[in-house]
Structures are given as C-alpha cells and as structure tokens.
Amino acid sequence: MEMKSKYNIGDILYSIDNLKIVKIEVSSISIVTTKEYTHVYYHRDGGYRCFSEQEVFGSEAELIAYLKRAEDGENSEC
C-alpha cells in the first residue's frame, strides 16, 4: 500500500486557527491509516495543533474561495 500526502515538508499552507487565517510552514507530516480510513496531518514548528489535509490550502486565495463556497452552501464538507 502506498500513501502519499498532498503537500510536502517545507511547503507553505494556509488554514483557519482561532477564527483567523494562519500561514503554516510544514515541519512534519503524520499519516494515520486503518482498514476504514487514511488521515494526513500537517505540523508546524512551535505549535501543538496539527492541521488535517481537509483544512489546509496551498494559498490564501484558495482558502478564501473555499470559505465563500461554504457560505453559499456549495461545499459538501461544511
């Protein structure tokens, strides 16, 4: 079985933390897999919180576009 993350160590990602857009430099990646699912988590230096692959974006513009689609009811994950 091959597992691959969408992003790599050193990539700059964007997410929401404490109701603010945050910029994250990926310092490590965790992959958790079972028979039922696989989850990918991104970690940054100096932070306790990890970010799941579903809540990170490659640019601030992608994140804002996602939020706008959610506001319009277009994202099935929301």
Please give the model's pTM, rounded to 2 decimal places.
0.83
Q: Would you say residue 61 lies in a domain? A: yes
Residue 4 lies in a domain: no
Residue-range definition of the domain harbouring residue 26: 12-71
Band the pLDDT of 78: cuts 50, 70, 90: very low
Is there a domain that residue 51 lies in? yes
DSSP 54: G
Tens digits of residue pLDDT in 2-28? 788 999 999 999 999 999 999 999 999
In the block, tokens 């691959």 appear at 4
pLDDT band at 71 (very low <50, low <70, confident <90, very high): confident
Instruction: Quote the number of domains for the chain.
Output: 1
Confidence label for 46 from pLDDT (cuts 50, 70 and 90): confident
CB neighbours of 47 closer than 8 A, spacing ≥ 6? 24
